[in-house]
Structure 1
Amino acid sequence: MDVEVLSRIQFAFTVAFHYIYPPLSIGLGLNMVIMEGLYLRTKDPAYERLARFWTRIFALTFGIGVATGIVMEFEFGTNWATYSRYVGDIFGSALAAEGIFAFALESGFLGVLLFGWNRVSPRVHFIATLGVWLGSMFSAVWIVVANSWQQTPAGYHVVGEGMQARAEITDFWAMVFNPSSVDRLSHVWIGAFLAGSFLIMSVHAYYLLKGRHLRLSKKAFKIALIVATVASLAQLFTGHRSADGVSKNQPAKLAAMEGHYDCLGVADMYLFGWVDDETQEVYGLKVPGGLSFLIHGDFNSTVTGLNAFDRNDRPGQVNAVFQFYHLMVIIGMTLIGLTLLAAIFWIRGTLFEQRWLLKVFVFAVILPQIANQVGWFAAEMGRQPWVVYGLLRTSDALSKAVTANQVWFSLILFTIIYSLLFVLFVYLLNKKIKHGPDDGEMIDKRPRQRQIAEVYAS
């Protein structure tokens, strides 16, 4: 493999691994704010115990997230020097804003969040928790703004020529509110809420099935279920808004997402399928004219297809973009179905009697993570062959001094280190989950039939 392919694989690997943790931090932070808020309002110590427990897990995800994120900044300089020079003015301002408005807020309150439980009042600790959560939210703002500028550049001009060209900001707020940033940010935020909420539901569904921490787990599961239900429904709206923006600003990407080739024809919407780029055929289940309807409100409207673009100016891996996009959508609809089904059982008062559903939620923790990952894959691969859409090609963004062997070596090294970090994360997470909240409850050793009858009748 050449340097370009290896560098893309390396960056995709490091970003994908890093992106496991920030969404969890954001999602857990929101639920922790709710738990502490309920404690302040009701004075029920159960909410404080839940907040203490999830703070420990939050600290684990936050720490590994920070450690894995640093590597990407070095990769900009080592593997993507031309790209770094081109976007330096844009990224420099966005990352500086992240440091000032996000990381300073987050790190400033983090110590109080982790170590202030018995040293400050509950109200002050709640403010600290809120500050850390808002800091993580603001951090996502500036990262998404920087990435969205690559997708839909705005508020800039280009100075210099050839390989010395670079983009400079002419309007900071136009850069911040570029055509895709708001829609993509809301989509990322909600994906993070789902990741954190499904982790909480998974852990407490496990406790309920094992007869542990029953009172706390019922409260935590309900809190996370409310957040997840609202978020999953909202994700449907933000996803549509984001796709509508792609249709206007990056029509080649949208065409790849749906395998639409006709230069200007009616576009079908596929529920699932397989794209043959050679024959330009899609084999699968479709809604005729569905994409035309979603974009224009008319089943017979035309949509720009891939054949309207030169082959060198459109995504090369059409089937991969198609599969990643549709997997994200399928998981999103599954999350809506799961949360609504659980909400129905809650309304009926039988939620915690549905042991089969609790088992589903134990394993459903992986679904938001997969959706977040494949959503980013679809967005980034769909932007190709551009690293800055319409301005700088990925093939031109590489460092000229880096060889394929050097990238191979660093990729192998990163893979080993990140694998060890992931094993450490899983080990520590499992250890904290097995310990559980400090509520004094022990594993219920009564016969299963008696346990179910007494617990769920209470």
Structure 2
Amino acid sequence: MEVLDLARWQFGITTVYHFLMVPLTIGLSVLVAGMQTAWVRTGDARYYRMTKFWGKLLLVNFAMGVVTGIVQEFQFGMNWSAYSRFVGDVFGAPLAMEGLVAFFVESTFLGLWIFGWDRLPKRVHLACAWAFSLATIASAYFILAANSWMQHPVGAEFVDGRPTMTSIWAVLTNSTALVAVPHTIAGSFAVAAAFLVGVASWHLWRRRNGTDEHRPVWRSSLKLGAWVGAVSFAVLGVSGDLQGKLMFEQQPMKMAAAEALCHTEQPASFSILAVGDVADADCDSVKTFNVPALLSFLAHGDLETEVRGIDDLVGEYQDRYGTHYPDDDRLGELAGQPIDYVPNLPVTYWGFRVMVGFGALSAAVGMAALWLTRGGRIPESRWFPRLTLGAIVLPFVANSAGWIFTEMGRQPFVVVPNPTGVDGVWMFTATAVSDLTTGEVWTSLIALTTVYAVLAVVEVFLLTRYVRGGVEGVLPASGGDGSDRDRGSGDALAFAY
């Protein structure tokens, strides 16, 4: 494999792995703050215990997210130095803002929240929980603003061979970012919701034939998760529709690749399912099951819009950006070769459908669990906990598939040209990689993958341990009902790890 391929594999592995922790942290942090708010307002011990239990799982996941996230920014300089030099004047600003939020605001208020249970007034302590949760959303906003600039460069001019930022406001209010943020946050809530439903359902079922003083905790958690999951899926549908319309304007090749749309259509049909080899750019061996005119509606809000196909777009891209890569030794086997403007069609086509399908299934399982446990019922069959626990992975897969589609759908560009933007503010992925040997990249790829595998084992072990321990495993020795008399030093230590 060439350096470019290895570098892309390394970035893909570490980024997808890191993003398994991010949405759970974002969604769970807000839900835990909401649970604590309910406790402070009502004094109900159920909400106190919910805060304790889910808060412990949040902390474990957040710690792993921090460890794996640090690698991401280092990779820009390690494997993508040419890219870093090209976009540094623009990309550095939102990343610096994210760093300040993540490492100062988040860490400060999280520390106060962990060790402030027996030291801070209830409302001050609650404010720390909200400050931490809102900081995680702000951190995500700045990361998404940086990523959205790569998808749709704005607020920059081309000076001395690279983009120079002219307006940080334009970067932060990029139309792509303003739609990506609610979509990503909704996806995070979907992950947290499925986590609540799965774990709570398992605890309900495990003690279905006996008495369980914490049953109200699990019922409330299940209800919260099911309704949050349903609302999240609705928000995902609306924000996803807006993203599709922006994609039609900003990245028409990505839209065509998402549909394996080889030839221009007017009106354009939406492909529900394809049979055959979608990698065939001529569509000779592909049969699709379509909804007439739906793609035109998703692209432009009507039933008549023309959607350009891959074959027409390739010619347009060749006219604008060239037909061959530069004859440069740093490009390896790609030097002087024709540029392939077509993304990996199987990945983009099926990735889009996995994202939508698994997201819908996750919401459906949550509502099914809510229905099956209505009126105090607890299903006797073993399939109930297996279904809900298994469904925890659905939004994780949907989120990962969505990001893989987003990033691989823009290939061969690492910075996608803005159709209405400044000439020159774009970059091929092949020209962004560092001048490294394959041995050097193999070394870092194997090392990081090994470390991440070990961290995965640690995270699964810790989460499984605390999930099995239930509420009893996170309460102080006295049991705890949330009253002031139970908020001793042991309570704070129960949160430390």
Name the TM-score, length of structure 2 as normaliser: 0.83
The residue aligned with 1:170 is: 166
Q: Which amino acid aligns with 1:200?
A: L
Q: Give the alignment of 1:189-228 within 5 angstroms.
A: 189-211=185-207, 213-228=214-229
CA distance in 2, matches of 1:306, 1:244: 18
Q: CA deviation at 1:418?
A: 0.7
Per-residue CA shift, 1:339-397, capped at 9, x if unaligned?
Answer: 34445556x63664485545422211000100010000000000100000021000010
The residue aligned with 1:432 is: 466
Q: CA deviation at 1:94?
A: 0.4
Q: CA deviation at 1:88?
A: 0.7
Q: Give the alignment of 1:284-323 within 5 angstroms.
A: 284-310=288-314, 312=339, 314-323=341-350
One of 354, 362, 381 as aligned partner of 1:327: 354
Q: Give the alignment of 1:2-17 within 5 angstroms.
A: 2-17=2-17
CA distance in 1, matches of 2:281, 2:155: 39
CA distance in 2, matches of 1:232, 1:358: 22
SS of corresponding position for 1:154: coil
Q: Runs of 5+ in structure 1 lacking a partner? A: 442-458
Is 1:82–1:399's contact at 8 Å kept on the other side of the alignment?
A: yes
Per-residue CA shift, 1:105-144, capped at 9, x if unaligned?
Answer: 2111111211211222221221111011011101100000
Q: Give the alignment of 1:28-427 within 5 angstroms.
A: 28-160=28-160, 165-211=161-207, 213-274=214-275, 275-281=278-284, 282-310=286-314, 312=339, 314-344=341-371, 349=375, 352-353=378-379, 356-390=383-417, 391-400=426-435, 402-427=436-461
SS of corresponding position for 1:310: helix
Is 1:269–1:286's contact at 8 Å kept on the other side of the alignment?
A: yes
Q: Which amino acid aligns with 2:123?
A: R
- Percent identical among aligned pairs is 34
CA distance in 1, matches of 2:384, 2:125: 35
SS of corresponding position for 1:368: helix
Is 1:277–1:319's contact at 8 Å kept on the other side of the alignment?
A: no
Per-residue CA shift, 1:204-261, capped at 9, x if unaligned?
Answer: 1110110153221111111222221211111111111111111111111001001111
Q: CA deviation at 1:267?
A: 2.1
CA distance in 2, matches of 1:103, 1:74: 16
Q: Runs of 5+ in structure 2 lacking a partner? A: 316-338, 418-425, 481-497
SS of corresponding position for 2:274: strand
CA distance in 1, matches of 2:97, 2:358: 33
Is 1:16–1:373's contact at 8 Å kept on the other side of the alignment?
A: yes
SS of corresponding position for 1:158: strand
Q: Which amino acid aligns with 1:20?
A: L
CA distance in 2, matches of 1:258, 1:374: 15
Please tell me the root mean square deviation across aligned C-alpha atoms, in Å.
2.0
Relative contact order higher in (CA < 8 Å, ≥ 6 apart): 2
CA distance in 2, matches of 1:207, 1:326: 32
Specify whether residues 354 and 27 from structure 1 end up closer, same or farther in structure 2 by C-alpha distance, changes over 3 A only. farther
SS of corresponding position for 2:282: coil
Q: Which amino acid aligns with 2:433?
A: L
Q: Which amino acid aligns with 2:458?
A: L
The residue aligned with 1:449 is: none
Q: Which amino acid aligns with 1:310?
A: V
139-148 or 63-72, which moves further after superposition? 63-72
CA distance in 1, matches of 2:266, 2:5: 33
The residue aligned with 1:451 is: none
Q: Which amino acid aligns with 1:115?
A: F
Name the TM-score, length of structure 1 as normaliser: 0.90
Q: CA deviation at 1:289?
A: 2.5
Q: CA deviation at 1:99?
A: 2.7
Is 1:155–1:175's contact at 8 Å kept on the other side of the alignment?
A: yes
Q: CA deviation at 1:301?
A: 3.1
The residue aligned with 1:454 is: none
The residue aligned with 2:423 is: none
SS of corresponding position for 1:349: helix
Is 1:236–1:332's contact at 8 Å kept on the other side of the alignment?
A: no
Is 2:145–2:172's contact at 8 Å kept on the other side of the alignment?
A: yes
